[in-house]
Amino acid sequence: MTKKKKAALAVSAILIIAVLSLWLFGIPYMNRHMKTVEFSYSEKAPKETIGWNGKKPLVVYFTRVGNTDFEPDVDAVSGASLMIVDGELTGSNRFLADMVTDMIGCESAAITLTGGHYPSSYDDTIDAAGEELRARARPAIEPIDVSPYDQIILIYPLWWNSIPMPVATFLEQNDFGGKTIYLFATQGSSGFGRTVSEIEELAPGAKIVRGTSIYCEDIPDAQQELTELIRSWSRQ
């Protein structure tokens, strides 16, 4: 009986661990990678315009759409990557950039690869990003001229707790001396990771202002948080 009781307890413990693991890891993974996120822009768009103190900034963003070889029938999934907005496959950071430009009435520019693109699979993209990070790669991108602007709002995802290497290319290609860079990160974990110190190193002479780091599942409903953030920046 003692052996049977011990075996039963061991089985119970394994089942409890399995259920807890599913709750802690499996359900968030399914929400981020298997749930389609679809809405109209007007549902989520900012409800007010914000006057910017001084010359208007340039919004620069990096997102997977435009930098990934998707299959024609790709499904949009949640996470810090894809959504369907007004029937169009859209990178979530482009969605955030669109909201910022609508609020301020400023221009935006996408960091766009000119060479090889990332694979359609999110997991494969993360693997490729890890290889680029280890190699300190600088993928070729279309030039973005920041010289007419005193302030840049940079919207980017965390990949391996760091900035994507195309963002590093953008930073190294421009002179940010005397400019202000406002940071808006998106992520599937928490915080800014190593990105603030990385950007400080890659943009010497710039004033770096940490904004907010938003969790991927919260992006479609980030209107209020984003409005408050832009309002606070506009007064500086």
Q: What is the mean pLDDT of the chain?
A: 86
* pLDDT tops 70 at residue 35: no
Q: What is the pTM of this model?
A: 0.84
Question: What's the average model confidence in pLDDT over 29-40?
Answer: 65
CB 165 within 8 A of CB 137: yes
* pLDDT tops 70 at residue 8: no
Q: Which residues contact 93 (CB under 8 A, 6 or more apart)?
A: 61, 62, 63, 80, 155, 156, 157, 186
* pLDDT tops 70 at residue 2: no
Name the architecture of domain 36-234.
3-Layer(aba) Sandwich (3.40)
Beta partners for residue 5, in sequence order:
none
pLDDT digits (tens, 9 = 90+) for 111-122: 999 998 999 888
Higher pLDDT: 233 or 26? It is 233
